Structure 1
């Protein structure tokens, strides 16, 4: 049995929501940051973005995660009102779990002594904010004063302790404690107050809102001091704000697609130092999150792009990190370029990765989303969604605008390219097959059974169709004609995937009943049997370049690697490869395999033979 270890993670980007800010936070002692995507909390190092850990123990989508001030623990919260407190030493260790609010938690903060946590969000009645002891969950104070969702909260990082909250009722509420009790409200904003943050030295705090304003207050008393210059104001809602480590500057981001760095004077007024712009100006470039982390200035776009600026040199162009927001449904490696990986997500985003370097660009096919079937040949991608169209577009571009396409008359269920005759594409539809030459339909054939998967041989002379009934139908292909040669029966569930081996001497198939089978192409006999070790449907399958290994990925979150010529008991299993299920697998070479899944991540694993 070979050994497998994780060598790289190409992480998903933060989940975003139109019209709302998102939260990212940093480790006070390093350049690690935390952000959320679905049920995952992503721990990512800014100096080495491929250094990623993913915490996936929440049962519901996570909204916020923060390190404790001593960096020993992380508190994360979700839309069900649950807060989990966990550590990262020797794996993930759960310290506590508390039901804090009855609805979604939008923000949380630790007290500077690591003993208390305040959380705010949505709930029933007046239970919109709660502060509690991190070890027992006992409440420390009463938080009256808000009538609508509380979008943000902040804990004063020095004594005397204070808590400030703000939200959809346009109010900024100030509490003294512990135990905390309401002191007064500020009504300076005229729209949603989206974010509140104390300066690291505790002397001031700032609020920003959908009224395009930023207000600065005295940290101890909560009295208003000043505001960000109206002359240089944002032209859209301000969604997030973050202080510099020296408490003298703030960073704001807005729906107007700009980030601004302000200098905050002693009297609390903000003067614009620098406006940071990025992207091409589309809706996806609206900025919804930010963080000032040591010498990094981080902004997050609605499309999930992370821009990294250098605080000490604001003239320097930003470094961009991106990735997928949604389930990564397919992976492709190229024969000619083993360094490049293409991954495709359901929402129409195709990402180019360079092994060892990470993100290398995007091909945006959102106009054609959602994408269901995805294949590639040298220089071109071929894909289809849930309409009746098959598209061909060049790889070496960043935008696939009006890509060329053909209507195949029925929704494609699967597609396969003859890689040695790349003009030939086989498309499986519900009840039949369509043969394409380029973007020209050669023939549409009713096969008389419900088709669920297909594969065409590299030379385009043979096609295999998998059925809902679990049977494999093998056809010879001559020009535009299919002739059935044989039907293979072994599977006990609908066929989900079929792939020829690179040496074309074999093919493998997987089904919804968790079984995979390797077949000898010439004899049509089973070559590797009893591949029944998944606990749920097989979603994807791949061959190693030398045709000696087969790997399967499943809804059960695992990848299993089988070696031909060895019993299946000698298999190698990668457990919990992707939270929510594995949807793509591809060998890079005999010693490394890539996987992708529901969690929006792509991972590279190194295989060490025993």
Structure 2
């Protein structure tokens, strides 16, 4: 039985021009946020301590801990709210259709009995409050005419609810059962966030008009504003109160975060502007924040989570990041005595991870083209993109690209490198294959059939090319010329992946018809038969360093590990490895396999 030993999870999914919600639990210093269909719980004290919940049928948008920390309420783009257990088997308490459209915000009442949600809805209320265990309505919420972006529950009795949205309004409701009390039009643009202070005495609204307005928590009347002196110069997307209700943290499109002192009259003055060592691009705009105990957390559009200390805000922040979009390729390297993982996502980001410690930075690139394939060889990371270019990236501490990209002039299908000949890269395109030595293309071969995958042997003397027709073509490499030696016909679907074993004695292939095959390189005979246990197409495969195991990853969310010399039925199965499919595999040693997938996670598995 394989055991999950590490999981490097995604950062929150961000959207330009919109604030995002990140919630926390003070007792455990844990945060919760969403990306795709995943709801992610993460410890701030130990960022590798994570849990991913993937039971939503639609992309999840918001999640919050219950006041006692035992339950999670999460909403998605379909308007569904799920209430599920945080611990144990994560049992489902409630599954209800709260709105007819996307849920943008959600909050519990302080007694844990009620939940309020808001968002988009067609022809019905844009806000709804209900009992947490039955879904029974506890009020009517009139007063908004457009999408409601944020809602907040007064944490002390008498209970109140405040909402705000795209109609520039801040509405106030009394209850339960809740009824409309008053409405304010203090903002001249979208009101992005509304939050009650922990003591319930006041609440704040912030908007795209760069304003922050404060209201009395019991009556809903306006009592003050954030000072314009030293204030934000861009849209304010989020606000979060300090635990003592005396300060507020705000973040803005102007790429700054500010701490405000809130006086007794309800006005706010600047106490501190947090500084970031950023380059100033659009991805540095700040779209989310949270004040949790001594942590001041800000989130940028590019997914960088900065953790400042509230007691010492001048101290440089701890940075946590990762991928925002689905991961499509992975490479492993032992570099300078460190086990390093490189992963790339569909937005062109390459992230470097250190096995055992997690996020170690992004690989800086001169462009942002989407990456198709990754490989590592002798201190270099080789990447090829959908821009038809191959790049050799030195694995230096500063992570800078020195060499110019090689334009192969066609859409790249696969990339492989020869361990024994580190300057040799083998690139396949739709129509043929290209041999690259160092930084130069030395040959282009039109093979006369549709190429779907290719691999080069560790000694650089042989190559295997898989076709759309399901055939494997074996070539000898003489100089820079390919000479076809044989054609292997076993697969019943297009070849999707092919790789040589590290010792060069075998190669493995996988197809879209869910079958994998291990071949003897010399005799061309099948070494492991009937590797037909996936229920969907095979996306990737990888060999263990000692050439005794081969792992396959599939669209069926599973990883299968076969042992050469044993029947395929003796396989190790890792079910549910990645929600949405496994996209990449690599071994770090004989008993450790690393996987990436549609769920934006990098996972490390220990095999028996």
TM-score between the two structures when normalised by the length of structure 1: 0.97
Equivalent in the alignment of 1:601: 601
| 1:359 match | 359
* Displacement of 1:364: 3.9
Question: How do 1:114-129 residues align onto structure 2 when only pairs under 5 Å count?
Answer: 114-129=112-127
Corresponding residue SS for 2:459: coil
Query: Equivalent residue for 1:273?
Result: 271
Mapped to 2, the partners of 1:157 and 1:403 lie a distance apart of 58
- 1:217-366 counterparts in 2 under 5 A? 217-278=215-276, 279-336=278-335, 337-365=337-365
Counterpart in 2 of 1:42? 40
Q: CA RMSD in A?
A: 1.4
Aligned counterpart, 2:404: 404
Compared CA separation, residues 116 and 366, structure 1 to 2 (3 A): farther
Query: Are residues 1:165 and 2:124 paired?
Result: no
Tell me how far 1:439 sits from its aligned partner: 2.6
Which residue does the alignment assign to 2:96? Answer: 98
Aligned partner (choices 144, 147, 163) of residue 145 of structure 2: 147
Q: Deviations over 1:543-600 (max 9, x none)?
A: 1111111111111001111112222221111100111001111111122111110011
Q: Do the aligned partners of 2:394 and 2:401 also contact (CA within 8 Å) in 1?
A: no
> For 1:106-149, what per-residue CA distance to the aligned partner results, in whole angstroms no more than 9, with x for missing partners?
00111111111111111123511111111111111111111111
User: Which residue does the alignment assign to 1:87?
Assistant: 85
Q: Following TM superposition, by how much is the alpha carbon of 1:420 offset from its aligned partner in structure 2, in angstroms?
A: 2.0
Within 2, Cα distance between the matches of 1:140 and 1:366?
54
Instruction: Measure, in 2, the Cα distance between the counterparts of 1:98 and 1:30.
Output: 28
Deviation of 1:298 after TM superposition, in Å, equals 0.4
Report the alpha carbon displacement of residue 29 of structure 1 after superposing the two structures with TM. Answer: 2.1
1:248/1:287 CA distance change after superposition, 3 Å: same
Tell me if the contact between 2:366 and 2:401 (Cα under 8 Å) persists in the aligned partners: no
Q: Is 2:453 aligned against 1:450?
A: no
> Residue 505 of structure 1 aligns with which residue?
505
Give the Å deviation of 1:328: 1.3
Q: For the residues of structure 1 that align with 2:401 and 2:163, how far apart are their CA atoms?
A: 44
Alpha-carbon distance between aligned partners in 1 of 2:251 and 2:169, rounded to the nearest angstrom:
20
The residue that corresponds to 1:474 in the other structure is 474
Decide whether the 8 Å contact of 1:338 with 1:588 is kept in 2: no
- In 2, the alpha carbon distance for the partners of 1:398 and 1:252 equals 32
Q: Give CA-to-partner distance per residue, 1:255-311, whole Å, 9 cap, x none.
A: 011111111111111121111121222111100000011111100000011111111
Q: Residue in 1 aligned with 2:541?
A: 541
CA distance in structure 2 between the partners assigned to 1:234 and 1:461 by the alignment = 62
Q: Is the 8 A contact 2:329 2:372 kept in 1?
A: no
- CA drift of 1:393 comes to 2.3
Go from structure 1 to structure 2 and tell me whether the alpha carbon gap of 1:191 and 1:403 turns closer, same or farther (over 3 Å shift): farther
Task: Give TM-score, length-normalised by structure 2.
Answer: 0.98
Partner residue in 2 for 1:578: 578
Which of 7, 29, 32 matches 1:31?
29
- Once the two structures are overlaid, the 10-residue window that deviates more, 101-110 or 86-95, is 86-95
Matches within 5 A, 1:427-442: 427-442=427-442
How much does 1:397 deviate?
5.5
Q: CA deviation at 1:394?
A: 2.3
How many angstroms does 1:385 deviate by?
2.0
Cα distance in structure 2, aligned partners of 1:345 and 1:310: 31
Distance of 1:189 and 1:400 partners within structure 2 = 45
Q: Is the 8 A contact 2:334 2:340 kept in 1?
A: no
2-structure distance, mates of 1:356, 1:255: 35
Residue among 202, 211, 214 paired with 2:200 = 202
Distance 2:375 2:592 in 1: 21
Alpha-carbon offset, residue 402 of structure 1: 8.2
1:390-439 deviation line (CA, Å, top 9, x unaligned)? 22222326665785112212111111112222221111111211111223
Runs of 4+ in 1 over 6 A off after TM superposition: none
SS at match of 2:89: coil
User: Per-residue displacement from partner, 1:316-359 (whole Å, max 9, x unpaired)?
Assistant: 11000010111111221124545211111121111111111110
Q: 1:441 to 1:366 in 2, by over 3 A?
A: closer
How many angstroms apart in 2 are the aligned matches of 1:366 and 1:404?
10
How far is 1:188 from its partner?
1.0
Structure 1 stretches of 5 or more lacking a match?
A: none
Q: Which runs of 5+ in 2 are unaligned?
A: none
Secondary structure of 2:56's aligned partner: coil
Query: What is aligned with 2:175?
Result: 177
Measure the CA separation in 1 of the matches of 2:397 and 2:235.
Answer: 33
Q: Do the aligned partners of 2:65 and 2:71 also contact (CA within 8 Å) in 1?
A: yes
Would you say the 8 A contact 2:330–2:596 is kept in 1? yes
Q: Within 2, Cα distance between the matches of 1:210 and 1:473? A: 59
Aligned residues between the structures:
606
Distance 1:67 1:513 in 2: 43
User: Partner of 2:377 in structure 1?
Assistant: 377
